[in-house]
Amino acid sequence: MAELHVELVAADRKVWSGDASLVVARTTSGDIGVMPGHQPLLGVLEPGAVVIRTAGESGEGTVSVAVHGGFISFADDKLSLVAEIAELSEEIDVSRAERALDRAKSEGDEAAERRAEVRMRAVAVR
């Protein structure tokens, strides 16, 4: 099966790197799925869950990442995602994210509410 190489980095660290058969991300133009052989692209990432269908010797799996803005670039079966903030779903404390969402709703803090919702969407894919 054809694969693409994925590098997902945040401002402060390398978040995930490996081979994948499909990556789904939210851009300013809508959700996009990138598979091997996709046309070259450059886009702006919207806050949302990035879902990576992994491939390789260890078999298939899924990696879910909460991404809070950034850029996506694809060419020659190499996908780069550069995020302002990125959190692997297993790094997210679900109860803390739920409390943050409740607090943001009660305080009317729309930005905090969006961040908490993105975390909850990433965890839902686990």
Chain-centroid distance of CA 86 in Å reads: 7
pTM of the shown model: 0.88
Q: In total, how many domains does the chain have?
A: 2
If asked whether residues 54 and 106 sit together in one domain, one would say: no
CA 35 to centroid of chain Cα atoms: 15
> Do 20 and 82 belong to one domain?
yes
Q: Name every residue whose Cβ is closer than 8 Å to that of residue 87 and which is 6 or more positions away in sequence.
A: 65, 66, 119, 122
- The 3-state DSSP class for residue 109 equals coil
* pLDDT tens-digit readout, 54-111: 976 666 799 999 999 999 999 999 999 999 999 999 999 999 999 999 999 999 999 9
Are residue 22 and residue 76 in the same domain, yes or no? Answer: yes
> In the prediction, which pLDDT does 59 show?
62
Chain segment 7-40, per-residue pLDDT in tens: 999 999 999 999 999 999 999 999 999 999 999 9
Q: Which domain holds residue 97?
A: 92-122
Q: Three-state DSSP class for 107? A: helix
Q: Which two tokens stand for residue 4?
A: 């693409």
* Rounded distance between C-alpha atoms, residue 80 and residue 78, angstroms: 7
